[in-house]
Amino acid sequence: MKRNWWGLLAGALLGVAACGPADDGGGGVVGDVCTSQADCVSNGCCGNGTGVVNTSRAPSCPAPNACPTGSPDPTNQTLLNGCGTPFCDGTGHCVVARQC
């Protein structure tokens, strides 16, 4: 019986290890380091960003509500055409929180 218990434990550990990191969005790429939500911003302006970066690497965006007409987000708060929000995850890395 002891032998079966160790086999089950080893199998469970291998299964968990095969899954990889839980908060990396599934792609294995970890974002910039952050300590609070304010540390993470879009890598593009007016809703046209494609990823999230730390504020130290943020682009110079126009003032809120100064984006060109027809922009996905004139407040500079989202990315991916308004479908994503910059977020500091539980592991202390900037990620995209999807809304769409």
Kindly give the confidence (pLDDT) of every residue in the chain, 100 residues in length, as a single tens digit, with 9 standing for 90 and above: 445 544 444 444 333 333 333 334 444 558 999 999 999 999 999 999 999 999 999 999 999 899 999 999 999 999 999 999 999 999 999 999 998 8
Please give the pLDDT value at position 25.
45
Q: What global pTM score does this model have?
A: 0.67
Whether 5 maps to a domain, the answer reads no
Is-contact 52 40, C-beta < 8 A?
yes
Burial classification of residue 74, based on how many CB atoms lie within 10 Å of its CB (0-12 exposed, 13-18 middle, 19 or more buried)? middle
Q: Which residues pair with 98 in a beta bridge?
A: 84
The boundaries of the domain holding residue 46 are 24-98
CA dist., res. 65 & res. 47, Å (int): 12
Whether 55 maps to a domain, the answer reads yes
Whether 68 maps to a domain, the answer reads yes
Burial classification of residue 32, based on how many CB atoms lie within 10 Å of its CB (0-12 exposed, 13-18 middle, 19 or more buried)? buried
